[in-house]
Chains A and B, each alone.
Chain A
Amino acid sequence: MMEYIDNIPIYLQIKDILYRKIISNEYELGSQLPSVRQLAVQFSANSNTVQKSLKEMTEENVILPQRGKGNFVTEDPEIVEMLKEHIVKEMFDATYDKLHSLNMNDSEIVASFNKYINQREGSHE
């Protein structure tokens, strides 16, 4: 079952999860999304809530509803690329602000990030 953050509307959290699945190519360009009911069961959420997530995704041109068929992921890779940039920026925003609050300057942040990546790569081997 999904673990939701209590004080953020569920439809936004579901939209975010679906966007990540599109960016990671779990839902490929042009592919059909599961039905509203299937998504609702999968997310343990109300169908109205899932509808609202899909409505916003449609308004943001990431998915396209086809009459009587369901919802399809856009075929335009640029839209997905923009989505990815947006989400990556959000993640960096949060991290960058936290590091700054530790009184680190930009070059220290870059240096410690490089060190971090090297350590991670080392631990993978």
Chain B
Amino acid sequence: MSKVLEINDLNYKKNNKLILKDINLNLDNGKIIGLLGANGAGKTTLMRLIAGVKAKNSGQISVAGIDNKAARKSCVSMTYSLVSFRKGMGEKNTKVKDVVKFYIDIYPDFSFEKYQAMAQFLEIPCDDKIANLSTGTGEKLVIALTLARQVPLYLLDEPLNGVDIMARKKIIKSIIQWKSDDSTIIISSHYVKEISSLLDDVIILKDQTVYQVSSVEDIQEQNHLGIEEYYEKVYEGGLDDE
């Protein structure tokens, strides 16, 4: 399998405070990977560094073999909050279809066909104002926009936050339905139990670095634990006792 993501000795500081240190990661093509870590562990920061919207201090990041920051943007599709769209587009009356048009205009890899199929499945209204969307519908829109780009790597940052259970289930199903076989998805979520059936591997961030990368199956077979339990034990430092 070829590597979709390679990170070597990555460090990131903000206001002289170390946020991420000595990050090393190698991810294979075609998987769905959970990015787990407590609030403030640096999940969003790591995703933004990979996506090339934030500049690293030292180290190397390459996506599908491309390490140039600007060129990397065309290989990665990350979820962006709708709030930033409303601000960026500067209009109170921005509608769903305006944001879709914006995506079509700036991303040559955006598939309108794929977007439409997802929008239909997720029941996203195209004439509604962004400002009037419920949290659930907003997240559905973000997921559809993000996955409609055709790239090797997708970064889904807390796509289930504030979303009710029915919408969470639909979003999970849409990810399974529309993920192409050779693409890779990294997803962060506090709903560890709910996404566990979706995941091949988990990356656990702890103490500003990658504490561990394990396959979900290994955790279940070798540790006889569910992912959530395992993750909690890692944070409590309880795994060494066994």
> A residues within 8 Å of B by Cβ?
1-2, 4, 6-11, 37, 40-41, 43-49
Contacts and interface: CB of A to CB of B under 8 A. Distances in A.
Contact of A44 (B30, B179, B197, B220): B197
A106 to B, nearest CB: 32
Q: Helix, strand, loop or mixed for chain B's interface?
A: helix
Contact of B173 (A9, A10, A41): A41
A42 to B, nearest CB: 9
Interface stretch (B55-63, B127-135, B226-234): B226-234
Contacts of B225: 6-7
Interface string B188-213: 00000100111110000000000000
B229 A48 contact: no
Contacts of B198: 44-46
A7 B220 contact: yes
A6 B172 CA distance: 17
Contacts, number: 61
A48 B228 contact: no
B176 A40 contact: yes
B197 A41 contact: no
Contacts of B227: 6
B140 interface: no
Nearest to B193: A6
Given A11-B217, A44-B169, A46-B32, A4 B197 contact: yes
B169 A46 contact: no
Nearest to A38: B177
Given A4-B196, A6-B225, A46 B220 contact: no
A44 B173 contact: yes
B181 interface: yes
Interface string B132-164: 000000000000000000000000000000000
